[in-house]
Chain A
Amino acid sequence: MQTNEKHIKEPLFHITKRTDISTLKAWIIRLIAILAALIVSGLVIVVITSYNPIEVYAKMIEGSFGSDRKFFILLQNTAMLLCVSLAVTPAFKMKFWNLGAEGQVLVGGLASAACMFYAKDSLPSWLLIIIMLITSVLSGIIWGVLPAVFKAIWRTNESLFTLMMNYVAIQLVAFFIMVWVPNGSSVMGVINQRSEAGWLPELFGQKYAINIIVVAVLTVIMFVYLHFSKQGYEISVVGESENTARYVGINVKKVIIRTMVISGAICGIAGFLLVSGTNHTVSKELAGGMGFTAIMVSWLAKFEPVMMIFTSMFIIFLQRGAGEIAMTLRLNESVSDIITGIIIFFIIGSEFFINYKINKRASHKEAK
């Protein structure tokens, strides 16, 4: 029998699922992934640009923390991304794949811009702001709840539906800009430049302070809602198993619709903040892909609102850093995108090693 062993080919390794892994170990794996990503992108930088990678990384950090102003922009961008991420999270926890946050934010922003454009300075600013907030929230809700109603009643596919609603929203914005801008230009200038009607006021001398505070409050509310409220509990049950939900008497249709009302409403708030607090105008790029980046933020944080603060800040940090190196080192914008891509790829890839373990095969002889 022993002579046979030469002919026997065995698989080299096999993969097994980890049943339990300590949080510490999981974070060590993630850290190793980031380090590996930095090394790989360092190599890429050297090969294609011949810059010193350390210098490039230093610039990236400078892009976010280089000055007070840069730091505040980091916070503001983080807040907006976090806001959209908070919006998609309850839907995702319910396994309702809302890919339409982009559109929901856009219609929210459009509603605010419309209020500003038509009201001008005819109303006191505080009243205008309240009206803007309400219309934005309502628009977000309409955009979010339509796919939910169709899903709840006719079981339509929510991913396609919400995705398509994005294009409707984009074209709506394009249409209104054409109507509003007299010379046919496709760019809308700052609305109410002189009167600043409908602009969120500065706080502590900072332009974006209100945005940040609003999102911070939303984060706390969402955390409490998901973990401690009965409705949050229902969302988890429906997400895990609709059968269980029916078994305990949860009205699944109602939960789907209610949750998407919340999701759409928060997107509407994000749109309002972007128009009233940040841009004071509207464009097709208002959401700037945040509706999709938010999905990544939410998943990376495993749908935990508090964790999302860190994941959204990390993603914004990468984006800001990429922009900074593109500008100061005159690198092509694409190089920075490559670096961001590599880092995110490694982080997502590391989840595999957290969930699975690769074992080398015990050899034949050892077994005996």
Chain B
Amino acid sequence: MAIPAIELKNITKRFGSKVVANKNVNLCAYKGEILSLLGENGSGKTTLMNMISGIYYPDEGQIFIDGEEVVIRSPKDAFKYRIGMIHQHFKLIDVFSAAQNVVLGLKEEGKYDIKAVTERVRAITEQYGFELDPNKKIYEMSVSEKQTVEIIKVLYRGADILILDEPTAVLTPQETQKLFNVLRRMREDGKAIIIITHKLHEVLSLSDKVAVLRKGEYVGTVNTSETNEAELTEMMVGKKINLNIERSEPKNSEPRLEVKNLNCVNVEGIKTLDNVSFTAKSGEILGIAGIAGSGQRELLESIAGLQPIESGEIIYHNPKTGSDDELRGKTPIQIRELGVRLSFVPEDRLGMGLVGNMDIIDNMMLRSYRKGKSMFLERKKPKDLAERIIKDLEVVTPSAQTPVRKLSGGNVQKVLVGREIAASPTVLMAAYPVRGLDINSSYAIYNLLNQQKESGVAVIFVGEDLDVLIELCDRIMVISSGKISGIVEGRGADKGEIGLMMTKTDGGASDAN
């Protein structure tokens, strides 16, 4: 292992005058090795890899391939140096087959011969142990199959250096295992593999070496065999942190929100929710697990009055009046007028929960500006609220008058969650509230959810990290293709079991208690 397949020396990349995405990063990847690039969200992992694959151009520093200095100015250059990147977001044509997508954009000599391509694709799948039918159309494929097509695409082009950007984010635990097996086979075949991730257990089970980035700076590279989770976390975050979430026993739990036989269809007439029934109880956190796009968004939005509902009931047990209110078919305003204190932290923070170009004060008003008969706005109370949230939740911002789009992801989320909690809800729904957040902010959000639970709120938490769901939630409801495939107790839940439920297609009897 004398010469690294790819080596980066002192790579620096700035965005604007203030943001330094990468600063003096050094990195080596060798043939026949899997290198994990570990770092929190926003630590510059993807930026760094984009510079290798020709999407960005570094401000400073050098890149060496097999010991030769190279300049990669475009994805075409990267292709020339046999570098292939598999992005988080797939770039595939839905109506084409796998084989057609693989050759798309290639300028090969001779006639277009899809049969020969199909054969070569098949040879690649057999060589590395992929499971894929080259003639299957993309729109018929699962997320994991689409990812396979992306990987084969770069292999077909003869890539020797493969970069995978958070490949497991969209996969179930079982699919992840399959992917890892394929990657191991590629390593044996002498490929250099770089995998971007922030999941520690994956790093430890798969890679040979781990390179860590923190806030754009290169921290160091360690051999996986000589390290552990605690050390890697410390490298990532810069200080020791406690990774345990405290979970208290639910107290005085009573049914708060009851969903019965809920059905929804989307604009194309495809069922997004299929006979969903469950009960959310006060003083507990109900987790919702599932592959992204299995109906989580539709479920929360239909409860919040933002989705048309085909059939079913949504019943709110009002703790004050003791009455049972039907929320189905009501607009968000009508729901509020009923006295239902329902707070909702949507998945799309700046596109739905907040207005990016407005300052924190104006964002505070979003929920409350209608109050009062005056036709003019009242900004005093929102201003006080904004200042209180900034202080209590330690929001890092120049002032309350700063547009929220200028804040970092974690601070944006604190503003949103803070506003929703300030409405003193009885039901709090949060969709992927820690997505894109660093470890400290994530734990701050978990704590807020726990506090709400302890004060008797029925919390519904849609999450993607099964480890977190198992640690945080009292019960976990698993959703698969719009159906509830089961509800398990959070304490002592088994990740493998939940993973299987996530891919279950036939639904099965839902155990709604």
Q: How far is the CA of A241 from the CA of B351 in the complex (A)?
A: 6
Determine whether the beta carbon of B15 is less than 8 Å from that of A16: yes
Instruction: Known contacts A230-B376, A231-B375; decide if A19 and B18 are in contact (CB<8 Å).
Output: yes
Determine whether the beta carbon of A4 is less than 8 Å from that of B73: no
Determine whether the beta carbon of A244 is less than 8 Å from that of B12: no
Across-interface contacts of A69 in B (CB, < 8 A): none
Most buried by B among A18, A229, A233, A249: A249
Instruction: State which of B14, B69, B367 has its C-beta within 8 Å of the C-beta of A8.
Output: B69
Which residues in chain A, 353-368, are within 8 Å of chain B measured between CB atoms? Answer: 357, 361-362, 364, 366-368
Determine whether the beta carbon of A4 is less than 8 Å from that of B69: yes
Q: How far is the CA of A5 from the CA of B376 in the complex (A)?
A: 65
Does A47 interact with chain B (Cβ within 8 Å)? no
Instruction: Known contacts A243-B351, A247-B353; decide if A357 and B16 are in contact (CB<8 Å).
Output: yes
Which residues in chain B, 5-48, are within 8 Å of chain A measured between CB atoms? Answer: 10, 12, 14-19
Stretch at the interface among B57-65, B84-92, B194-202, B434-442: B57-65
Determine whether the beta carbon of A240 is less than 8 Å from that of B369: no
Q: How far is the CA of A318 from the CA of B509 in the complex (A)?
A: 75
Does A55 interact with chain B (Cβ within 8 Å)? no
Determine whether the beta carbon of B306 is less than 8 Å from that of A16: no
- Give B362's nearest chain A residue, CB to CB: A233
Q: How far is the CA of A366 from the CA of B354 in the complex (A)?
A: 43
Produce 1/0 per residue, B87-103, CB < 8 A to A: 00000000000000000
Which residues in chain B, 348-402, are within 8 Å of chain A measured between CB atoms? Answer: 348, 350-358, 362, 365-367, 369-370, 374-377
Determine whether the beta carbon of B376 is less than 8 Å from that of A236: no
Q: How far is the CA of A9 from the CA of B74 in the complex (A)?
A: 13
Q: How far is the CA of A1 from the CA of B57 in the complex (A)?
A: 20
Determine whether the beta carbon of A240 is less than 8 Å from that of B69: no
Across-interface contacts of B367 in A (CB, < 8 A): 248
Determine whether the beta carbon of A244 is less than 8 Å from that of B71: no
Produce 1/0 per residue, A224-249, CB < 8 A to B: 00001111010011001101101111
Determine whether the beta carbon of A16 is less than 8 Å from that of B377: no
Question: Number of residues in B with C-beta < 8 Å to the partner?
Answer: 47
Instruction: Known contacts A233-B362, A244-B366, A248-B367; decide if A228 and B376 are in contact (CB<8 Å).
Output: yes
Across-interface contacts of B10 in A (CB, < 8 A): 367-368
Determine whether the beta carbon of A229 is less than 8 Å from that of B351: no
- Min C-beta distance of A255 to chain B, whole Å: 13
Does A184 interact with chain B (Cβ within 8 Å)? no
Instruction: State which of B12, B57, B306, B355 has its C-beta within 8 Å of the C-beta of A14.
Output: B57
Produce 1/0 per residue, B307-344, CB < 8 A to A: 00000000000000000000000011100100000001
Determine whether the beta carbon of A9 is less than 8 Å from that of B352: no
Determine whether the beta carbon of A244 is less than 8 Å from that of B355: yes
Which residues in chain A, 208-267, are within 8 Å of chain B measured between CB atoms? Answer: 228-231, 233, 236-237, 240-241, 243-244, 246-249
Determine whether the beta carbon of B336 is less than 8 Å from that of A233: no
Does A182 interact with chain B (Cβ within 8 Å)? no
Does B346 interact with chain A (Cβ within 8 Å)? yes
Does B406 interact with chain A (Cβ within 8 Å)? yes
Determine whether the beta carbon of B306 is less than 8 Å from that of A247: yes
Across-interface contacts of B366 in A (CB, < 8 A): 237, 244, 248
Chain A interface extent, by class: 20 to 34
Determine whether the beta carbon of A8 is less than 8 Å from that of B71: yes
Which residues in chain A, 1-36, are within 8 Å of chain B measured between CB atoms? Answer: 1, 4-5, 8-11, 14, 16-19
Determine whether the beta carbon of B15 is less than 8 Å from that of A244: no
Instruction: Known contacts A16-B15, A229-B377; decide if A362 and B59 are in contact (CB<8 Å).
Output: yes
Determine whether the beta carbon of A233 is less than 8 Å from that of B60: no
Across-interface contacts of B304 in A (CB, < 8 A): 247
Across-interface contacts of A231 in B (CB, < 8 A): 375
Most buried by A among B12, B14, B346, B377: B377
Q: How far is the CA of A252 from the CA of B368 in the complex (A)?
A: 17
Across-interface contacts of B19 in A (CB, < 8 A): 19
Produce 1/0 per residue, B484-504, CB < 8 A to A: 000000000000000000000
Q: How far is the CA of A120 from the CA of B472 in the complex (A)?
A: 80
- Min C-beta distance of A226 to chain B, whole Å: 11
Q: How far is the CA of A367 from the CA of B11 in the complex (A)?
A: 9
Determine whether the beta carbon of A367 is less than 8 Å from that of B60: yes
Q: How far is the CA of A5 from the CA of B10 in the complex (A)?
A: 16
Instruction: Known contacts A233-B362, A248-B332, A362-B60; decide if A240 and B355 are in contact (CB<8 Å).
Output: yes
- Give A357's nearest chain B residue, CB to CB: B17
- Min C-beta distance of A253 to chain B, whole Å: 12
Q: How far is the CA of A249 from the CA of B330 in the complex (A)?
A: 11
Instruction: Known contacts A229-B377, A230-B377, A244-B351; decide if A19 and B356 are in contact (CB<8 Å).
Output: no
- Give B61's nearest chain A residue, CB to CB: A367
Instruction: State which of A230, A249, A366, A368 has its C-beta within 8 Å of the C-beta of B331.
Output: A249
- The contact sample of 24 A-B pairs, CB cut-off 8 A, is A8-B71, A9-B71, A10-B71, A16-B14, A16-B17, A17-B15, A17-B16, A18-B17, A229-B376, A233-B369, A237-B366, A240-B357, A241-B351, A241-B356, A244-B351, A244-B353, A246-B332, A247-B304, A247-B306, A247-B352, A249-B336, A364-B60, A367-B10, A367-B61
Q: Which residues of A contact B (CB under 8 A)?
A: 1, 4-5, 8-11, 14, 16-19, 228-231, 233, 236-237, 240-241, 243-244, 246-249, 357, 361-362, 364, 366-368
> What 3 A-B pairs come out closest when comparing CB atoms?
A249-B332, A367-B60, A249-B333
Not counting A240-B356, A244-B366, a sample of 8 additional A-B residue pairs whose C-beta atoms are within 8 angstroms of each other reads A11-B57, A14-B57, A19-B17, A233-B365, A240-B355, A243-B348, A248-B332, A357-B17
